[in-house]
Structure 1
Amino acid sequence: MLSCFEDSGAARGTVNYNMVFLKGHYSVSDATMESTKPEKHRNHKGMSWPTAAIFIVGDMMGGGMIALPIAVVNAGQRLVAFCLCLTQFGIATVLTLLAANNLSNLLAAVGFPINFCYVVLLIAAVLWPFVMLKSPMDFWQAAVGAAVSSTVAAMLIVAGAIHDAPVCRQIGWLSQLVNVMITVHVLPTVVIVFSPLAQQVEEWTNVPQRHFSARRFAIRSLILFGIVFTAESIPHFGVFLDLVGGSTITLMTMLLPSVFYLFLSASHNKRKDLINTMQISPDSPDNQLAGFVELYKVVEISSAISIGMQ
């Protein structure tokens, strides 16, 4: 049973409606429900906001200090992979520029000149479906085509050199045919160079490797777009050769191998010292890692020997 009655508030000049629900001999009104609501708990003796902020900062910094060693190790492991990816990216850009340059010269020679920038886009459109292939085992034909075209180009170059030996003069169609063979060689090479770069980026981004997916399509399309954008922005492959040769290749061929050798030598010397001082047994696992002190000792001894030899 539901009843509604009116309560006139003369002092306030308002009318209040009170709803009473009757069920048997029980009645519940709005006033009763309001009075039975539990009050919100407030801890007036707790910590303040500044204190809580200090605790959060301390906790986060402590976790960072604990995770710092493994973070440094992972960063060192990924440094080489990053240098390799950057090198592959630069090589793919250089090869794209070379193929576009050869194709542009060929089209100009046959009387159909096209702007170099449009030729780069054309090259990217031709390569786009092939860069979606998973691994080199799926495009072994590209390697065969690159090898065959390189062989044909070398044979044509030798034939042209023999023809030019008595009198130095160029054969137009032979020169253009050599450019075509070089371009045919470069295009599959771009796909071959692109594959390890794409696979490494997919590993970093946790892209499924077993089957083709939208994520693989998006990642590889973005990488190809980056190559095309770089080629369009700096259409001179000599700049990329200098940049890649002076940065990542120098790191991987000269600096990093020396650092790795010093680290391995210092780790070996540290293990020998621990065995001689009987801190570990000779049969213990070879998992001692050198620190900065051991590395400094090896570098100092090597520097002293090199200075003494001079």
Structure 2
Amino acid sequence: MTTPLIHRERGLTIPSTAVFIAGEIAGTGILALPRAVEDTGWAGLILLVLCAILSTYTGIILGEAWTIASELFEDCKGHVQNPYQLLGQKAYGAAGRYAVSVCLHVTMFGGAVVFLLLAADNMETLVKALGHDISFCFWLLIIAGFLVPFTWFGTPKDFWLVAYGATLASASATVIIVVSIGLDAPNQTSTQHQGADFQKIALALGTIVFALGGHPAFPTFQMDMKRLKDFKKAVCLGFVIVVLLYLPVTSAGYFVYGNTLNDNILNNLPSGGLSYAVLLLVTIHLLLAIVIVISPVIQEVEMVLHVPRDFTWKRCVTRLLVVACVLFVAETVPKFNSLLSLIGGSSLTILDFICPILFHMKMHKLKVEASEQINDNNRLEGVHIPLWRKVLNYEILGLGVVAGVAASVSAIINIVSPDSFSMPCYVNISSAAT
């Protein structure tokens, strides 16, 4: 795959924007979705495709909302550092801005925690296969310490190759996983599937939403495009790539391994060169993703604490503390599947399904009001939302609220449940020491 050179002044093309979308989204879903589908039964494959379609639609209307905002408001033109928050402010004032900001940072901080947990799980599996035994909890500490110096650099705004590298790594891992499952299929003589219940379905839904969630960064991608209105084409192409990456692994894992699937499908693969290659590819992807995902949180913290933009000891200390917070949460809740469901059902559901609908309707209303004030009939044409689209918007809004609440509550119950509760790493370490 040849990586095209992207010039900021020219803007992103539709294919390059689609790769950014796919590179941001595809990753953890490859590992966690097979188990999520097993928890819902074969209908989980349909649910995965349906959620991908809904995410595509809400991504498109989020782009439309930003396009309208850029037409109506001067401070929405050109480059904006925090476009989603600004869109929330234009739609619903300070409350909208703060709500989006909180959800964004919860999602990104939680995403960094999940990526750290997955990377540690992968490294424990890989090193154990090579004959060494380093516990998962220590791998969390090792990886966090390794990442700290990389957070001391400025911002990832110039890391244009990361998206292409992440997409290529995910695509390569997908091919290898499917091949490995195919080679292992003859050894799985009797595949059985477990029954589904409401809590399992709700948890799986949260995982699916997390695996398809990329909306927090969509307005940023759109601003860098040559034409804002082309963003809907990029969204469609991006999600097509994501589904093509997710479906083969998810289907193969579900039909071959069934109820023996682990939370991380890599733990089901037979040991050998193929599985080691996948572990390395996915882990590299996760390590890069942690630095990128945590960057907006770091920038917000530094802005609040008035940390200078130049490289100083204050930057080093601040970013060390942020990584330490990520590490603490990971050591406290060392089960990434529960966090996937919680984040997917709460903050990410709001950003993926609820906010795009509300902001889209509000921006259309503001555009109608602006057109009526200046009696611009030409501008008013095509502004009103068709009835069928209004009905669809309200259905998605209702579905997002119900599904988000169900997934969040189920995830919280699962995290604190005695049957699935995992002791924090530092408790286990202190117990072993005594």
- Alignment TM-score, normalising by the size of structure 1: 0.58
Distance 1:106 1:248, change over 3 A: same
Asked whether 1:153 is paired with 2:173, we answer yes
Q: In structure 1, how many angstroms separate the alpha carbons of the residues matched to 2:176 and 2:148?
A: 30
Alignment deviations for residues 8-36 of structure 1 (CA, whole Å, 9 cap, x no partner): xxxxxxxxxxxxxxxxxxxxxxxxxxxxx
Partner of 1:15: none
Correspondence list, 1:148-297, <5 A: 148-161=168-181, 163-164=183-184, 171-173=270-272, 174-209=274-309, 211-268=310-367, 270-271=369-370, 275=373, 282=375
Distance 1:122 1:262, change over 3 A: same
**In 2, are the aligned partners of 1:143 and 1:188 still within 8 Å (CA)?**
no
Alignment deviations for residues 182-211 of structure 1 (CA, whole Å, 9 cap, x no partner): 1122111111212222223323433332x2
For residue 180 of structure 1, report the CA deviation from its aligned partner: 2.4
Say which of 122, 129, 141 aligns to 2:142.
Answer: 122
What is the aligned residue count? 212
Q: Say which SS state the counterpart of residue 150 (structure 1) adopts.
A: helix
Aligned residue type for 1:246: G
Partner of 1:77: 97
Q: In structure 2, how many angstroms separate the alpha carbons of the residues matched to 1:125 and 1:207?
A: 22
**In 2, are the aligned partners of 1:143 and 1:189 still within 8 Å (CA)?**
no
Q: Say which SS state the counterpart of residue 86 (structure 1) adopts.
A: helix
Aligned residue type for 2:323: L
Partner of 1:94: 114
Q: Say which SS state the counterpart of residue 131 (structure 2) adopts.
A: coil
Structure (1 or 2) with the greater strand fraction: 1
Aligned residue type for 1:122: I
Q: In structure 1, how many angstroms separate the alpha carbons of the residues matched to 2:170 and 2:355?
A: 33
Q: In structure 1, how many angstroms separate the alpha carbons of the residues matched to 2:279 and 2:188?
A: 19
Q: In structure 2, how many angstroms separate the alpha carbons of the residues matched to 1:182 and 1:241?
A: 17
Distance 1:203 1:172, change over 3 A: same
Q: Say which SS state the counterpart of residue 172 (structure 1) adopts.
A: coil
Aligned residue type for 2:294: F
For residue 120 of structure 1, report the CA deviation from its aligned partner: 0.3
For residue 177 of structure 1, report the CA deviation from its aligned partner: 3.0
Q: Which runs of 5+ in 2 are unaligned?
A: 1-91, 190-268, 380-389, 396-434
Partner of 1:131: 151
Q: In structure 2, how many angstroms separate the alpha carbons of the residues matched to 1:140 and 1:265?
A: 33
Q: In structure 2, how many angstroms separate the alpha carbons of the residues matched to 1:166 and 1:242?
A: 32
- Alignment TM-score, normalising by the size of structure 2: 0.43
For residue 144 of structure 1, report the CA deviation from its aligned partner: 5.9
Q: In structure 1, how many angstroms separate the alpha carbons of the residues matched to 2:183 and 2:334?
A: 34
Alignment deviations for residues 79-102 of structure 1 (CA, whole Å, 9 cap, x no partner): 212211111111111010000011
Q: Say which SS state the counterpart of residue 142 (structure 2) adopts.
A: helix
Q: In structure 1, how many angstroms separate the alpha carbons of the residues matched to 2:311 and 2:157?
A: 15
Alignment deviations for residues 70-119 of structure 1 (CA, whole Å, 9 cap, x no partner): xx933432321221111111111101000001111222222221222111
Distance 1:155 1:76, change over 3 A: closer
Distance 1:262 1:171, change over 3 A: closer
Asked whether 1:108 is paired with 2:128, we answer yes
Distance 1:146 1:263, change over 3 A: closer
Q: In structure 2, how many angstroms separate the alpha carbons of the residues matched to 1:258 and 1:159?
A: 40
Structure (1 or 2) with the greater helix fraction: 2
For residue 121 of structure 1, report the CA deviation from its aligned partner: 0.1
Distance 1:271 1:114, change over 3 A: same
For residue 146 of structure 1, report the CA deviation from its aligned partner: 3.8
Partner of 1:23: none
Aligned residue type for 2:298: A
| Structure number with larger C-alpha Rg | 1
Q: Considering Cα pairs closer than 8 Å and 6+ residues apart, tell me whether 1 or 2 has the greater RCO.
A: 2
Q: What is the root-mean-square deviation of aligned Cα atoms in Å?
A: 3.4
